[in-house]
Amino acid sequence: MEQVMASIPDFEIAETGILKDNSAEAEQFKIRVDEIFQKVDELEQKVNEVEQFNLNSSKKQQSSSKGSSMGKERDKGRQVPSIKKQQQDASRREAAAAKRMQELMRQFGTIVRQITQHKWAWPFMQPVDVKGLGLHDYYEIIEKPMDFSTIKNQMEAKDGTGYKNVRDICADVRLVFNNAMKYNDEGSDVHLMAKTLLEKFEEKWQLLLPKVTEEERRRDEEEAEAQLDMQLVREAAHAKVVRDLCNELYEVDTHLEHLRETVVQKCRKMSTEEKRNLGTAIARLSMEDLNKALEIIAQSNPAFQAMAEEVEIDIDAQSESTLWRLKFFVKDALELQSRSAMSTGGNNNYNNKRKKEICDAIAKTAKKKSKKTSS
């Protein structure tokens, strides 16, 4: 961008033919061009953001491509929720899910009470008195001690530190009995009591498990639905960015076209020598830029077929506007071409042949003009 901007003074004054003493007007052109460059930088950043979003969306779609076709058909007709509605729906879902989980925990609490009321439950009701019983190796064997009084306190906690779901409580209940069986020998009373109560607990847990599984499935579906809604919101927001970006690009293009036409209108008439030099410069263009030069000619000459197999260009027959637009384009293209100095691809033979045909046509037309002038 800096290299382009550095060439603006030559581009607008010395090279274009605008009167050099009109410095105030030239300065206005520079300011307008600077503003356009700044706008282009902003648009480039927006384009990069959109491209990054599309890249991430593409990756997500590939990772979720294993979904059912029924689900995909359902998503096609899905309406994009607003942010406010999405927040309201999320709050309602969380409240409803929390209420259902509380009911499951209440039912689980019934199981816990039935187990703790068993005549063999007393060794497991309080934390193991490691010091009083002289169990010096207890903490070497048991990594996480657990008892039913600790479970009860966490189930009744109101400060947010308690259990969040039933499976966490289930894991701690199992831990109580597994610790006892791990530390005490298999033939001991405590080991037998723990094993018996664990079996009773598992029987009761299997009765509640289908409800827990169903609640987990429902939560997963609701979470997936919420994620889809969020993705739709993001896509809608980026779609708006794309629409705005297109409008801004069109606006910049309009400003550039207006600026170009203004500059052309203020240019002096191109001399015969300059026309001859322009024809020579066109012959130095790459094949890609040569085709673009032909498109510039075609814009003001509807009958001119830029992509025809045989193209004949009469430089003298072009309007002043077309000549100056060609001059601007050729100057920038040759500067860029000299900086890049990149080798051409595999279509060199065809491109060089096509280029030679067009350049020969320009030279042929110039010779015809020269003969008419001399005669």
Summarised one tens digit per residue, pLDDT across range 57-99 is 666 655 555 444 444 444 455 555 566 776 777 778 888 888 8
Summarised one tens digit per residue, pLDDT across range 162-179 is 898 899 999 999 999 999
Q: Would you say residue 271 has pLDDT above 80?
A: yes
Percent of the chain clearing pLDDT 70 (strictly above): 69
Summarised one tens digit per residue, pLDDT across range 291-341 is 888 888 888 777 776 666 666 777 888 888 788 888 888 888 888 888 876
Q: What is the mean pLDDT of residues 342-353?
A: 51
| C-alpha–C-alpha distance, residues 94 and 104, integer Å | 15
Task: Tell me what pLDDT residue 193 has.
Answer: 97
Q: What is the mean pLDDT of residues 117-127?
A: 96
57-62: long-range contacts at Cβ-Cβ below 8 A with a sequence spacing of 24 or more? Answer: 57/231, 57/235, 60/231
Task: Tell me what pLDDT residue 109 has.
Answer: 94
Task: Tell me what pLDDT residue 136 has.
Answer: 93
Q: Would you say residue 348 has pLDDT above 70?
A: no
Length in residues, the chain = 375
Q: Would you say residue 138 has pLDDT above 90?
A: yes
Among residues 202, 101, 207, the alpha carbon closest in space to that of 155 is found at 101
Task: Tell me what pLDDT residue 369 has.
Answer: 52
Q: Would you say residue 252 has pLDDT above 50?
A: yes
- 235 within 8 A of 57, measured Cβ to Cβ: yes
Task: Tell me what pLDDT residue 190 has.
Answer: 96
Residue with the larger pLDDT of the pair 297 and 11: 297
Task: Tell me what pLDDT residue 302 has.
Answer: 72
Task: Tell me what pLDDT residue 98 has.
Answer: 84
Average pLDDT, the chain: 77
Residue type, 212: V
Task: Tell me what pLDDT residue 202 has.
Answer: 97
Most confident option among 39-43, 123-127, 361-365: 123-127
As given in the structure block, the two tokens for residue 183 are 């530390």
What lies within 8 Å, CB to CB, of 53 at 6+ separation is: 234, 238
Residue with the larger pLDDT of the pair 363 and 315: 315
- 200 within 8 A of 148, measured Cβ to Cβ: no
The model's pTM: 0.48
Task: Tell me what pLDDT residue 2 has.
Answer: 35
